[in-house]
Chains A and B, each alone.
Chain A
Amino acid sequence: SQTIHQWPATLVQPVGSPLSLECTVEGTSNPNLYWYRQAAGRGLQLLFYSVGIGQISSEVPQNLSASRPQDRQFILSSKKLLLSDSGFYLCAWRSGGAANEKLFFGSGTQLSVL
């Protein structure tokens, strides 16, 4: 069966420090991968998605970037964190093809920027 892993589960970082969050999917090949962010008291917002290695689409301008170095690995990064980057970050995946239009989410990373 397919599983999705995110780490770390929680992270406290000072303003101006770098960030690297990792997400990996097991049990499937060539998944579409997504990074969503849930700010406090708000709904989820799509940040990035990727349909293949090296292919990244950005949904909103921000202080973050994403990379997909391997088929089942998706990384969210920042060179210098801002206070506004605090939030709950969720990685998600879907398998390709028709009739698979639903996302499966990981357990998330709670990021606090102080």
Chain B
Amino acid sequence: AQKVTQAQTEISVVEKEDVTLDCVYETRDTTYYLFWYKQPPSGELVFLIRRNSFDEQNEISGRYSWNFQKSTSSFNFTITASQVVDSAVYFCALSEALLWTGKLIFGQGTTLQVKP
């Protein structure tokens, strides 16, 4: 069965600190996708990244970076020099890739609070 675990329920940091959000997944699929979404207080989920299981290259986008390690089944998300606007709930998600139906298995989410 597929499962996503975000062990950190809440994280609080002070602005400009770096913060890493952990994501560990379980799947029997050999080909799959991993996602990160941001849910600001307004409620909508904002797509951040999709990673294919065959691509283990780390990715950087501005202050955001993602570390995908198949060996440990982890897909961690780091925000460098955090800002108050980064305060949100962040979700990691998993889906199969061969017959993609849009069914994402979400983790419980990590609430990030960035204090000024």
Question: Among A44, A46, A108, which residue has the most Cβ atoms of chain B within 10 A?
Answer: A44
CB of A7 within 8 Å of the partner chain: no
Q: Is the CB of B102 within 8 A of A34?
A: yes
* Interface hits, A74-114 → B, CB 8 Å: 88, 90, 92, 94, 101-108, 110
**Contact between A101 and B97, CB atoms less than 8 A apart:** yes
- Cβ 8 A contact of A90, one of B35, B45, B101, B107: B45
B100 and A101 contact, CB distance less than 8 A: yes
Q: Range of interface residues on chain B?
A: 20 to 34
Contact residues in B for A73 (Cβ distance below 8 Å): none
In the assembly, what is the distance between CA of A101 and CA of B100, in Å?
A: 7
Q: How far is the CB of A61 from chain B (nearest CB, A)?
A: 16
Q: Which residues of A contact B (CB under 8 A)?
A: 32, 34, 41-46, 49, 57, 59, 88, 90, 92, 94, 101-108, 110
Please list the residues of chain B having a beta carbon within 8 angstroms of any beta carbon in chain A: 4, 33, 35, 37, 42-47, 50, 91, 93, 95, 97, 100-104, 106-109
Pull 24 A–B residue pairs with CB atoms less than 8 Å apart, ordered by A.
Answer: A32-B102, A34-B102, A43-B106, A43-B107, A44-B45, A44-B91, A44-B93, A44-B106, A49-B101, A49-B103, A59-B103, A88-B43, A90-B43, A92-B102, A94-B102, A101-B50, A101-B97, A101-B102, A103-B104, A105-B44, A105-B45, A105-B46, A108-B43, A110-B43
